[in-house]
Amino acid sequence: MRARLSVLMFVQYMGIGAWAVPVATFLLASPAQGGLNFSPSQTSWIYSASAFVGLVAPLMLGLLADRLFAAEKVLGVLQFGGAAIMFFAGEYCRQRQLVLRTAVDLAFETRETFNTLFLFMLANAVVMVLTIALGNVISFRNLKNPKKYFGSIRLFGTVSWIVVNIGLDVLGSPYSVQPFYLSAICSLIAGIYAFTLPHTPPTGHGKSFGEAMGLPALGMFRHSGFRVLIISAMCMAAIQQFYSVYTNPFLKSLGAGKPTALQTISQFSEVACMLLFPLALSRFGMKWTLGVGIFGWVVRNAIFASGSLGFISAIGLPLHGMCYTFFFIVANVYVDRQAPSDLRASAQGIFTFISSGVGTLIGNFASARVLQDMRDGGDVEWTLFWLIPCVSALMVFLFFVIFYTEKSPLTEPARPIEHLAPNPVS
């Protein structure tokens, strides 16, 4: 069973990783460079599609997999839909490349391209967010000991992210329509494979709208530690989008030979930190593990601002694993441990809504505005661009260290979280 679920994670995340890293560079590039001439604002809308969907995903998932249909069948149908969406998105982009290269009114044609592609990516976001969560549901309901085994199974998703981006950069062309087609192929394979998974029937009941949005857990805001963590998570999710969307075009501008492959250093680090964070928690405690995660963003963005490709490759990119794992993964552990047993799912709903939804949206639009202000013709003042999230992360760090307090000792082990739909663009 573990092997079968590991294959599912590998194929699902390969389809996401195929486009999530390189597409920003493709969208921002000029038609002469093979791109679609999007502005930073238009690019941010494309990457915000998953955040918009994330705001309502818990309710959609509860309706589909908890009340109506078997989870593996919903997963298979959605993956087939995702394959069709990404294939036609690739075809559309290929056709628009030719139009943009010869356009008389380039601004108009670019707007037309953006409007249609956004609809494709919004539909893809519905598939992506729901299939991630459904993969988790199938895993948790079929593993005998999900608390023990789910982490190792989920790591195959990160491994596939590494494999697809190295393969695409070395053997393919990441700054083209190829990522769309590759994503479609992976979704098709995942859809076929889903129907071979164990039958996972609906539980017969689902969450109400209020439960899906985390409303029963609003009482946790009485605790200062929870308030501080939620505010910090929203801010750090926003800061994270500077990295998630614009690291690839930044590395390309520095002259990195294979920037998409180079960026997978972050995922190698993430794998290592996923294995190490329980040790950090036991050694340093919740507050300082979270604090180190936040401060890692300060250091990483400062390194990025240096513009030194060697320094960025050796230290800046590996810091991503520590930043992401020590803050976002540990924050999920905090929420699950501190919430009363009957409010854990609701508390996770609040955390997901604020971080993967609200925070990600704020970060996408804020980072796009900063990039637009830092552009001078075709060039970007990258040093100033990265100093903005650097200073912002420092302010969040000081806020967190000064005001965060824990409600009680952490003695109860965290349970696995079925419906958690993390930001896939980590």
In tens, the pLDDT along 127-136 reads 888 888 788 7
C-alpha span between 288 and 405 (Å, rounded):
11
Please check whether residue 175 is in contact with residue 34, taking contact to mean a CB–CB distance below 8 angstroms: yes
What's phi and psi for 204, nearest 5 deg?
95, -5
Is 341's pLDDT higher than 70?
A: no
Of these ranges, 151-165, 211-225, 228-242, the one predicted with the greatest mean pLDDT is 228-242
pTM of the model: 0.81
79: amino acid identity, one letter: Q
Q: Which residues contact 52 (CB under 8 A, 6 or more apart)?
A: 122, 125, 357, 361
pLDDT digit string, tens, across residues 353-375: 788 788 999 999 999 999 989 88
Give the pLDDT band of residue 247 (cuts 50, 70, 90). very high
- According to the 3-state scheme, what is the secondary structure of the chain? CHHHHHHHHHHHHHHHHHHHCCHHHHHHCCHHHCCCCCCHHHHHHHHHHHHHHHCCHHHHHHHHHHHHCCHHHHHHHHHHHHHHHHHHHHHHHHHHHHHHHCCCCHHHHHHHHHHHHHHHHHHHHHHHHHHHHHHHHHHHHHCCCHHHHHHHHHHHHHHHHHHHHHHHHHHCCCCCCHHHHHHHHHHHHHHHHHCCCCCCCCCCCCCCHHHHCCHHHHHHHHCHHHHHHHHHHHHHHHHHHHHHHHHHHHHHHCCCCCHHHHCCHHHHHHHHHHHHHHHHHHHHHHHHHHHHHHHHHHHHHHHHHHCCHHHHHHHHCCHHHHHHHHHHHHHHHHHHHHCCHHHHHHHHHHHHHHHHHHHHHHHHHHHHHHHHHHEECCEECHHHHHHHHHHHHHHHHHHHHHHCCCCCCCCCCCCCCCCCCCCCCC
Distance CA 326, CA 318 (A): 13
Structure tokens at 46: 């494309």
The CA distance from 291 to 299, in Å, is: 13
Identify the weakest region by mean pLDDT among 57-71, 317-331, 404-418. Answer: 404-418
Q: Which residue has the higher pLDDT, 26 or 330?
A: 26
Please compute Rg for the chain using Cα positions: 21
Q: How far, in Å, CA of 355 to CA of 279, rounded?
A: 25
The answer to whether 316 and 300 are in contact (CB under 8 A) is: yes
Token pair in block for residue 133 = 């969560």
Instruction: Indicate the average pLDDT of the chain.
Output: 84
pLDDT at 290 over 80: yes
Report the C-alpha gap between 400 and 404 in whole angstroms: 5
**Which residues on neighbouring strands pair with residue 379, listed in sequence order?**
376
In this structure, the dihedral spanned by the alpha carbons of residues 338, 282, 161 and 371, taken in order and rounded to 10 degrees, is 70
Tally of CA atoms within 13 A in the half-sphere of 217 that contains its CB: 25
Report the percentage of the chain scoring pLDDT > 90.
Answer: 42
User: Which tops the pLDDT comparison, 315 or 418?
Assistant: 315
